[in-house]
Amino acid sequence: MIGVHFVFLLLLGVVASTQGANILGLFSSHSPSHLIIHMSVAKALVKAGHNVTVVSMLKPKVTHKDIHLIVVPMKEEQERIMEDQMTEMAGQKNSLVSTMYRLLTSMDVMINAQAELLSDPRFQRIYETKFDLMILGYFINDFQLGVAHKLKVPVIINWMSAPVPAIDKYTGNPSELSYVPLMGTVATQPMGFLKRTENALKSLLFEFIFVVFDYKLTRIYNDVFPEQDMPTLKELRKNISMAFVGSHLISEGPIRPLVPALIEIGGIQVKDKPDPLPKDIDQFISNAKQGAVFLSLGSNVKSSTVRPEIVQIIFKVLSELKENVIWKWEDLENTPGNSSNILYKNWLPQDDILAHPNTKLFITHAGKGGITEAQYHGVPMVALPIFGDQPGNAALMEKSGYGLALDLLSITEDSLRDALKEVLENQKYKQAIGQFSTLYRDRPMTAKQSVVFWTEYILRHQGAPNLQSPSVHMNFIQLNNLDIYALIVTILVLFVLLTRLVAKIVWNKFGGKAKISQTKKKQ
């Protein structure tokens, strides 16, 4: 009887601890598109009955009435620096490496602001609530892991796209450089010698950049958490329970092993059922006999920061189309030009527009979020990438056959017109992305169900050390068995040296004597 009662109480305890848990979402990344992904995770948890508090530095576009939102904006001056940087980047060619360098130098306000946030009184209030779990929206801000330590709660990291080396490190996931192209590398499989060389060199470069970032992040961590009893940042990185990643590799590729602590939630931001569109947009799309084209250059770069000549090229070509065009443009007072087939809007429900059956083409800056939504809804694309992961996303999209990619800075009327005509008229792009869309949706659990299940798993077990790969606690030498190889090589070398030495002694003793005695005889 006592046993039964005990089990019953235990069950009750388990249920109680996962229902209506207090969850903190720390989403301070200064990117609206990152925030959309993080907020979609928060929303899934609120809908599952949890009490979610979100701290962000931007006002989120996706939210829910039951999410407790604390917005602590950047200082105006920092905001201005960020905007200037974005404008500068939109006017030049940017590699992933130059973008990272920029993040370390002129754009480091973005990292510093996330540190200053932690000592803001509006943030400090969170320490008054008893939380059960923290979700950290990751973007070069792992010093914020100190918050979870102070709250004494397990941490889940949320990352916007497929696992990158930093996420691999946190979870002990093998990076498999010989066939997993790093962000920004586009490769046909199996990867040939040159591609593998490129990937390996890039990985070394990233390792170096990591060391530089690590120095900066550790310094910030020590500044923000000067308390004596704080563990080191290194220790906290080894105490991350799980990472959510914005991918679905069995449809997107490359196929690679993923440790159990990496959970794929690619497409979390896509609504199960689209919301109805605002009336004017709905009519504009529905009434287009030839279908509609949707143009958005994303949320980081304001359209007006793209060079005016380029904007004029885009306007000229789009105004000649027989399709209706919806153009995301911030400054409605100063539009690129008037044309009866173009509708300018400064904010658009991207996901809902892409879900509309009459949307035939998406012209995009190739941000991960937009590409994912177009892939989910099977809408072919023309990509005009600008910086960061966008050129890589665009190249991969083109290689997969879902559309064409052009270089935004060097487009001409002809190149743009040809690309639009090709993707609108040749059915192969629509077919390829339609097939992908079917694969992408075919899963045992939806992205939202995965988020809810695994978050509650971590809550039930108060962390998940059972899921953690032992490799998290090994250094580079141990993990790659370099010490063992070194030992084997040492033994081999010693053996060869010893053999030579012995041979020499033997030679001197016998062969040498024989020779000497022979020469003696001749004399």
- Residue number with CB closer to ligand NAG (231 or 278): 231
Report if residue 400 touches ligand NAG, rule: CB under 6 A: no
Site size toward ligand NAG, by CB under 6 A: 17
- How far apart CA 156 and CA 234 sit, in angstroms, is 16
Q: Smallest distance from the beta carbon of 100 to ligand NAG, in angstroms?
A: 28
Q: Smallest distance from the beta carbon of 178 to ligand NAG, in angstroms?
A: 33
- Residue number with CB closer to ligand NAG (68 or 441): 68
Q: Smallest distance from the beta carbon of 451 to ligand NAG, in angstroms?
A: 18
Amino acid in position 71: V
Q: Smallest distance from the beta carbon of 238 to ligand NAG, in angstroms?
A: 9
Span 467-506, contacts to ligand NAG by CB under 6 A: none
Measured between its terminal Cα atoms, the distance across the chain in Å is 110
Determine which residue in the list 19, 129, 283, 499 makes contact with ligand NAG, applying CB under 6 A. Answer: 129
Amino acid in position 349: P
Q: What residue has token string 């159990």?
A: 260
Span 162-201, contacts to ligand NAG by CB under 6 A: none
Determine which residue in the list 30, 34, 149, 360 makes contact with ligand NAG, applying CB under 6 A. Answer: 149
- Residue number with CB closer to ligand NAG (337 or 512): 337
C-alpha atoms less than 13 angstroms from C-alpha of 242 in its C-beta half-sphere: 28
Report if residue 461 touches ligand NAG, rule: CB under 6 A: no
Q: Smallest distance from the beta carbon of 463 to ligand NAG, in angstroms?
A: 2
Q: Smallest distance from the beta carbon of 337 to ligand NAG, in angstroms?
A: 5
Determine which residue in the list 32, 61, 64, 68 makes contact with ligand NAG, applying CB under 6 A. Answer: 68
Which ranges in 225-367 belong to alpha helices (H)?
233-237, 249-252, 279-286, 308-319, 350-355
Q: Smallest distance from the beta carbon of 215 to ligand NAG, in angstroms?
A: 22
Determine which residue in the list 80, 152, 219, 500 makes contact with ligand NAG, applying CB under 6 A. Answer: 152
Report if residue 98 touches ligand NAG, rule: CB under 6 A: no
Report if residue 231 touches ligand NAG, rule: CB under 6 A: yes
Single out the segment in contact with ligand NAG by CB under 6 A; choices: 97-105, 148-156, 441-449, 509-517: 148-156
Q: Where are the beta strands (DSSP E) in 266-349?
A: 292-296, 324-328, 342-345
> What is the x/- site pattern for ligand NAG, positions 253-282, by CB under 6 A?
------------------------------
Q: Smallest distance from the beta carbon of 36 to ligand NAG, in angstroms?
A: 21
| 212: helix, strand or coil | helix
Span 15-44, contacts to ligand NAG by CB under 6 A: 22
> What b/e readout covers 271-280, taking b as 16+ CB neighbours within 10 angstroms?
eeeeeebeee
Determine which residue in the list 28, 31, 53, 350 makes contact with ligand NAG, applying CB under 6 A. Answer: 53
Tokens of 430: 């629509």
C-alpha dihedral sign at 266, 270, 271, 273 = negative
Alpha-carbon distances, residue 482 vs 171, 322, 474, 477, 491 (angstroms): 21, 63, 12, 5, 14
Span 306-365, contacts to ligand NAG by CB under 6 A: 337-338
- Residue number with CB closer to ligand NAG (152 or 504): 152
Report if residue 239 touches ligand NAG, rule: CB under 6 A: yes
C-alpha dihedral sign at 443, 447, 449, 451 = positive
- How far apart CA 422 and CA 27 sit, in angstroms, is 40
Tokens of 392: 């890589």
- How far apart CA 304 and CA 313 sit, in angstroms, is 14
Pairing state of beta strands 133-137 and 68-71?
unpaired
Determine which residue in the list 56, 158, 171, 241 makes contact with ligand NAG, applying CB under 6 A. Answer: 241
Report if residue 51 touches ligand NAG, rule: CB under 6 A: yes
Beta bridge partners of 134: 24, 155
- Please choose, from the candidates 241, 52, 269, the residue with its C-alpha nearest in 3D space to the C-alpha of residue 157: 241
> What is the x/- site pattern for ligand NAG, positions 421-450, by CB under 6 A?
------------------------------
- Number of C-beta neighbours around residue 225 at 10 A: 19
* Residues with Cβ within 8 Å of residue 142, at least 6 apart in sequence: 136, 217, 233, 236, 237
Single out the segment in contact with ligand NAG by CB under 6 A; choices: 147-155, 219-227, 273-281, 431-439: 147-155
Residues that bind ligand NAG (CB under 6 A): 22, 51, 53, 68, 129, 149, 152, 154, 231, 235-236, 239, 241, 337-338, 462-463
